[in-house]
Amino acid sequence: MRIHELKQRLRAAGAGPSHEHRVLRLWTHAQPRDSGRRRPASFFPAALMAALPAIEAELAGLARVHSAHPAADGSERLLVELADGQRVESVLLPRGGLCVSSQVGCAVGCRFCMTGRDGLLRQVGSAEIVAQVALARQRRPVRKVVFMGMGEPAHNLDNVLEAIDLLGTVGGIGHKQLVFSTVGDPRAFERLHRQAVKPALALSLHSTDGARRRHLLPRAPDLSPEALVSEAERYAQASGHPVQYQWTLLEGVNDGKDEIEGLVRLLSGRRGLLNLIPFNAVEGAGFSRPEWARCEALARTLKARGILTKLRDSAGQDVDGGCGQLRARAETLRRGGQRVALPQRAAAAAHPRG
């Protein structure tokens, strides 16, 4: 279900704008129908009251927790089952953050990511995206929503932007606290500029060398790193939110001096933050995680060269599954196959967007 279809259904059942607003607010905030001062029976028209149980049941069935995996750092990974049995991952982050999935699978096929291995299976509908937020709010408060879970949001723009519009209005999430993450796509840049609710932008950069980036992200749009950074900057100026540049650190691939020089060249004087995220093992990916001390040294060097840099470890390091890995493992079990064997550290998030 999409949000505009839900709104049409509410209108068809006799809802006026204030009734629609209240139903959507209750849903997005995971509150029961009788919360608030005004009793539902005196506020909603009788026809809408009669239709609400079926609509609410459908909304509740959009997403349910298949399994929950709390971690020592306060994060919790959820394997979420959608109404048709497909599964995606959401991650409750410390300090009120939530990472949601926008697609089942992904067509970009980044070489270091488990989600991209099966290609795109289907889009996640706008109501299913918001349902991930409602589900998370049943467990704890959510004040920030990042679109860094499974999928490339730029490949599901209508649904993602519709969800962002709702979350940034009745959903009560600040616009800067909505983070649209992308490998960089001209269609996404163009649409973001036209948004009334302008989210912050996270750009998955991973290399300043065009050929290396094309190799790592084989089906990302063929824009040079220079063009990507300049598009991102243009949006940062328009939205007023600094860009987050995401960088998965791969040992011996993009952790060398050439990339440091490239980053200084590309990002000096820009309105952005570079997030360095050491890679977490994905079976068969053929990449390694640099030693932590080396990552720290890189971050120090970049800071000393004037680049605002944060070294981040993915949330849920001790959880048995990362972005795409929980789902892959569950699918293997569902098909009666062998458990996907991952080393201890592979339990951590593999997603490059942090």
Q: How many CB atoms lie within 10 A of CB 9?
A: 17
Stretch touching ligand SF4 by CB under 6 A, among 60-68, 109-117, 170-178, 313-321: 109-117
Does residue number 152 form part of the binding site for ligand SF4 (CB under 6 A)?
yes
The residue within the footprint of ligand SF4, chosen from 71, 183, 276, 298 (CB under 6 A), is: 183
Q: Please identify which residue in 27, 33, 69, 116 interacts with ligand SF4, judged by CB under 6 A.
A: 116
Strand partners, 246: 204, 275
- State the catalytic residue, choosing from 106, 110, 295, 323: 323
Q: Which of 89, 152, 162, 259 is catalytic?
A: 89
Question: Whole-number minimum distance, CB 232 to ligand SF4, in Å?
Answer: 16
108 binds ligand SF4 (CB under 6 A): yes
Q: How far is CA 233 from CA 9, 42, 238, 242, in A?
A: 40, 50, 9, 8
The H-assigned helical ranges of the chain are 3-12, 17-28, 40-43, 46-60, 126-137, 157-167, 186-194, 210-216, 225-239, 257-267, 292-304, 325-334
Residue 162 in the binding site for ligand SF4 (CB under 6 A): no
By beta-carbon proximity to ligand SF4, the closer residue of 110 and 135 is 110
Using the minimum distance from each CB to ligand SF4, give the nearer residue, 156 or 208. Answer: 156
Distances, alpha carbon 354 to alpha carbons 33, 61, 93, 217, 277, in Å: 35, 29, 11, 16, 6
Contact 259, 267 (CB under 8 A): no
SS3 label, residue 157: helix
Q: For ligand SF4, how many residues bind (rule: CB under 6 A)?
A: 13
Q: Look up 323 and say whether it is catalytic.
A: yes
Distance of CA 91 to the CA centre of its chain: 9
Which residues ranging from 268 to 297 are in contact with ligand SF4 (CB under 6 A)? none
Q: In terms of DSSP bridges, do strands 243-249 and 76-82 run parallel, antiparallel, or are they unpaired?
A: unpaired
Task: Tokens for 229, please give them.
Answer: 């950074």
CA 291, 297, 298 angle in degrees (round to 5)?
90
Q: Measured between alpha carbons, how far is 78 from 76 in angstroms, rounded to an integer?
A: 6
CB of 106 to ligand SF4, least distance (A): 3
Amino acid type, 213:
R
The stretch among 135-143, 147-155, 234-242, 280-288 that binds ligand SF4 (CB under 6 A) is 147-155
**Using the rule CB under 6 A, is 352 a contact of ligand SF4?**
yes
Look up 89 and say whether it is catalytic.
yes
In the complex with ligand SF4, the residue whose CB is nearer, 6 or 202, is 202
Q: Which stretch binds ligand SF4 (CB under 6 A): 63-71, 108-116, 227-235, 339-347?
A: 108-116
CB of 259 to ligand SF4, least distance (A): 18
Q: Which is nearer to ligand SF4, 170 or 285 (CB)?
A: 285
What Å distances lie between residue 242 and 116, 177, 219, 239, 270, CA to CA?
28, 12, 26, 8, 9
Range in contact with ligand SF4 (rule: CB under 6 A) among 38-46, 112-120, 257-265, 301-309:
112-120
Q: Which of 113, 163, 229, 299 binds ligand SF4 (CB under 6 A)?
A: 113
Which residues lie near ligand SF4 (CB under 6 A)? 106, 108-110, 113, 115-116, 150-152, 183, 351-352
- Residues tagged active-site: 89, 323
